[in-house]
A and B are shown apart, each in its own frame.
Chain A
Amino acid sequence: MNVISLRFTIATILAVIGITAFIIGLQYDFGSSQRMGPGYFPLVLSGALTVLAVWEAFSVLFNPSSDEQPSLDWRPFAAILTAVLGFAFAISFFGLIPAFIVVIGLSSLSEHKYGLKPALILAFFVSLGAWLLFAKLLGITLSLFKFGF
């Protein structure tokens, strides 16, 4: 994806966010200028966002300044986001230590040749450190291991 289409895509996404927020905002009471309702700000803001985003999209289309070509790095993008999601999942069902192993393991997939050994060593030390820090020092007793809920 080159810069122009990336910028255009982002502007479009922002416009879609604006339109969606506007449509949802229509359900809220708009109120009057004395008694502004809960819908006043959301409508004004989402309207402004939509207008600006569309403006941005058009200016990208008609004013292509394609000097740099920063592409998206899909591999780390997917790996890191999955890692965080994996942490959320693992800590809900299996406890702190498995969650750390999951997050380190999945983040290490960001690179082709990370290797299992460094990932394992890192996971071990991070788990140990976090346990010492959060459980022992700061007194937050999170379940280290557990099953189910």
Chain B
Amino acid sequence: MFENILLGFSTAFTATNLLYCFLGVFLGTFIGVLPGLGSLAAISMLLPLTFYLEPTTALIMLGGIYYGGEYGGSIASILLNLPGTPSAAVTCLDGNPMAKQGRAGVALFITAIASFVGGSVGIIALMAFGPAIAKVGLSFGPSDYFALMLLGLVATVTVGGQVRKGLIMVILGLLLGTVGTDVTSGDFRYTFGFLELRDGVSLVGMAMGLFGIAEVINSIKGSNERKVTEKITARSMMPTKEDMKKIIAPMARGSSIGGFLGALPGAGTVIAAFLAYAMEVRVAKDKTRFGNGAIEGVAAPESANNAAAQTAFIPTLTIGIPGSATMSIMLGALMIHGITPGPLLITDHPTIFWGLIASFWIGNVFLLVLNIPLIGMWVRVLQFPYKYIYPVVIALICIGVFSMRTSVFDVCLVVIFGALGYLLQRAGYQAAPLILGFVLGPMLEENLRRAMLMARGDVFQLIADPLTGSILALSAMMLIWAFACGLKSLLNKRKIKILPEGEA
């Protein structure tokens, strides 16, 4: 074990590898900041660059691009409410309100710290229990995945406070998720004859419309009166001692949730951030702070997201099953170098495996070192008059969405979802549950249908499975709790004067 780690660091600590690791983190952050382009886009764009490198160096660079992209996405989410991925949508919930309160620097700082902590926890889990966790992941069958997805959705619904509106958004998201080719039958659903819709609605087009466009329209009015004269000092960017104290427990909880879920192929990374956020809301004494710039609401999902990003490598590297689209590309990069990833990768290519793990940690250090000095620069973006920012944001959204699939159709989707998103936002609905419903919906349906096929239609067989049953019971409990709380607050509302509902 120890000598393996040593081997890893000796592989990673060559000048070339360090250089490419740094380059990857830098480029990844840079691309991730652009609206609509996340770590997936960053990796697919820069993948061809790595074909000319040694396999270990190539993977180290791709790893760097990956976290850089993830962190860059958080920057865009916090500053401008522009999430490129579902997990970044969680960061928006409290990160953007913090920025609006003039605490953007603190939010970015916390994000960097939480990412680092989460990443480090994930790496330790990866080193210590990689193969063991992978086996647990394999034992998750279709019914367990279904239960897990359901838990994720229930957690999201119960987060917002307004259960009915949350439920409406999740269901709308699930319904949008059914657009495209049905996996189980191969039929087309709601494609209206568009070839582009056969693979479903473009997530990026949808997220950019719902969040980005809606946000811009919302912010234009009164933006000229907005005061941006606040002085940026080094102190204003640093979290206070109280802030730091507040985030220790959330980071620990977030990292453990993320670290575990990340190892489950497909499901983990998406719901990790949502569940971590839901957990914080549950634990918190004063739930009203969430959605209004609660620092725990940034720290927990960010650490969960990054811990999951690390442990997502477990199934990829230990059994050759990529957990996400990004991981598939990483596997593809290995294949191009003539290495077929599989369960024997660790024994056959120990330098690659351990070198990669060591470089993950180095990459996380780079991320911290690179980004803390840059926070000041990012925050200054907000100091520009909004007048000059929003046309650029709109233009970047357009080109970003367009270049994902070179598709004009996707740009048109931005228009539709922009209109819908703005109207929904004004009427007090949140877009984040919709995004989660959309992402989890197809997996939820696929796994339920697969589970029912395997159980030959016997629902009781499904529930009788110990793992499935207990996850389902947990979801049921959360839902009942949320409805009970909702009822209680409704009764309170009737008694006291009606309180203004928080804006979305």
A and B in contact, CB less than 8 Å: yes
Whether A7 and B391, one on each chain, are in contact in the complex, defined by CB atoms closer than 8 angstroms, is no
Chain B residues lying within 8 Å of A119, measured Cβ to Cβ, are 391
Are A84 and B394 also in contact (CB < 8 A) when A67-B500, A110-B220 are?
yes
A45 to B437, CA, bound (A): 11
Chain B residues lying within 8 Å of A126, measured Cβ to Cβ, are 391-392, 395
Query: Residue-by-residue, is B397-423 near A (CB-CB < 8 Å gives 1, otherwise 0)?
Result: 111001100001001101100110011
Whether B45 and A138, one on each chain, are in contact in the complex, defined by CB atoms closer than 8 angstroms, is yes
Closest A residue to B393 using CB positions: A107
Give the distance to chain B from A77, nearest Cβ to Cβ, in Å: 5
A51 to B439, CA, bound (A): 23
Are A114 and B387 also in contact (CB < 8 A) when A36-B449, A49-B172, A73-B217 are?
yes
Chain B residues lying within 8 Å of A56, measured Cβ to Cβ, are 164-165, 168
Are A41 and B172 also in contact (CB < 8 A) when A6-B427, A130-B399 are?
no
Chain B residues lying within 8 Å of A87, measured Cβ to Cβ, are 395, 398, 402, 411
23 contacts between A and B (CB under 8 A): A17-B175, A35-B457, A36-B452, A37-B185, A40-B449, A42-B189, A45-B171, A49-B168, A52-B168, A53-B168, A73-B218, A81-B213, A81-B415, A81-B419, A84-B397, A88-B412, A91-B408, A104-B395, A107-B395, A118-B388, A126-B391, A138-B46, A139-B48
Which residues of B from 446 to 463 have beta carbons under 8 Å from A? 448-449, 452-453, 455-457, 459
Chain B residues lying within 8 Å of A55, measured Cβ to Cβ, are 164
Residue B498 at the chain A interface, CB threshold 8 Å: yes
Closest A residue to B42 using CB positions: A138
Chain A residues lying within 8 Å of B287, measured Cβ to Cβ, are none
Residue B488 at the chain A interface, CB threshold 8 Å: no
Residue A145 at the chain B interface, CB threshold 8 Å: no
Give the distance to chain A from B150, nearest Cβ to Cβ, in Å: 13
Query: Residue-by-residue, is B181-193 near A (CB-CB < 8 Å gives 1, otherwise 0)?
Result: 0101101011000
A122 to B386, CA, bound (A): 13
Interface size class of A (residues with CB under 8 A): 35 or more
Contact of B418 among A21, A35, A80, A142 (CB under 8 A): A80
Residue B503 at the chain A interface, CB threshold 8 Å: yes
Residue B299 at the chain A interface, CB threshold 8 Å: no
Chain A residues lying within 8 Å of B224, measured Cβ to Cβ, are 111
Residue B350 at the chain A interface, CB threshold 8 Å: no
Whether B172 and A17, one on each chain, are in contact in the complex, defined by CB atoms closer than 8 angstroms, is yes
Chain B residues lying within 8 Å of A110, measured Cβ to Cβ, are 217, 220, 390
Whether A36 and B171, one on each chain, are in contact in the complex, defined by CB atoms closer than 8 angstroms, is no
Which residues of A from 91 to 149 have beta carbons under 8 Å from B? 91-92, 96, 99-100, 103-104, 107-108, 110-111, 114, 118-119, 122, 126, 130, 134, 138-140, 142
Are A111 and B498 also in contact (CB < 8 A) when A83-B394, A92-B408, A99-B398 are?
no
Give the distance to chain A from B223, nearest Cβ to Cβ, in Å: 9
A29 to B457, CA, bound (A): 17
Per CB-CB distance, the 10 closest pairs between chain A and chain B, nearest first, are: A34-B457, A10-B427, A88-B411, A38-B182, A67-B500, A87-B398, A76-B220, A107-B391, A38-B187, A45-B175
A32 to B453, CA, bound (A): 10
Closest B residue to A100 using CB positions: B395
Are A45 and B217 also in contact (CB < 8 A) when A65-B498, A67-B500, A81-B419 are?
no
Residue B141 at the chain A interface, CB threshold 8 Å: no
Residue B428 at the chain A interface, CB threshold 8 Å: yes
Chain A residues lying within 8 Å of B429, measured Cβ to Cβ, are 10
Whether A80 and B221, one on each chain, are in contact in the complex, defined by CB atoms closer than 8 angstroms, is no
Residue B380 at the chain A interface, CB threshold 8 Å: no
Whether B412 and A42, one on each chain, are in contact in the complex, defined by CB atoms closer than 8 angstroms, is no
Task: Supply 20 further A-B pairs (C-beta < 8 A) apart from A41-B178, A65-B498, A84-B414.
Answer: A10-B423, A28-B187, A34-B452, A36-B449, A38-B187, A49-B172, A53-B168, A65-B500, A70-B503, A76-B221, A80-B418, A81-B213, A84-B411, A88-B415, A104-B394, A107-B395, A111-B224, A126-B391, A126-B392, A134-B399
Q: Which of B48, B182, B503 has most A Cβ within 10 Å?
A: B182
Chain B residues lying within 8 Å of A38, measured Cβ to Cβ, are 182, 184-185, 187, 189
Residue A24 at the chain B interface, CB threshold 8 Å: yes
Chain B residues lying within 8 Å of A91, measured Cβ to Cβ, are 398, 402, 408, 411
A42 to B172, CA, bound (A): 10
Whether A14 and B175, one on each chain, are in contact in the complex, defined by CB atoms closer than 8 angstroms, is no
Give the distance to chain A from B52, nearest Cβ to Cβ, in Å: 14
A110 to B418, CA, bound (A): 15
Residue B167 at the chain A interface, CB threshold 8 Å: yes
A51 to B434, CA, bound (A): 17
Closest A residue to B181 using CB positions: A38
Closest A residue to B455 using CB positions: A34
Closest A residue to B221 using CB positions: A73
Whether B182 and A103, one on each chain, are in contact in the complex, defined by CB atoms closer than 8 angstroms, is no
Contact of B190 among A24, A40, A68, A100 (CB under 8 A): A24
Contact of A41 among B399, B403, B445 (CB under 8 A): B445
Residue B121 at the chain A interface, CB threshold 8 Å: no
Chain B residues lying within 8 Å of A103, measured Cβ to Cβ, are 391, 394-395, 398
Chain A residues lying within 8 Å of B113, measured Cβ to Cβ, are none
Whether A14 and B394, one on each chain, are in contact in the complex, defined by CB atoms closer than 8 angstroms, is no
Contact of B452 among A33, A96, A114, A142 (CB under 8 A): A33
A70 to B426, CA, bound (A): 7
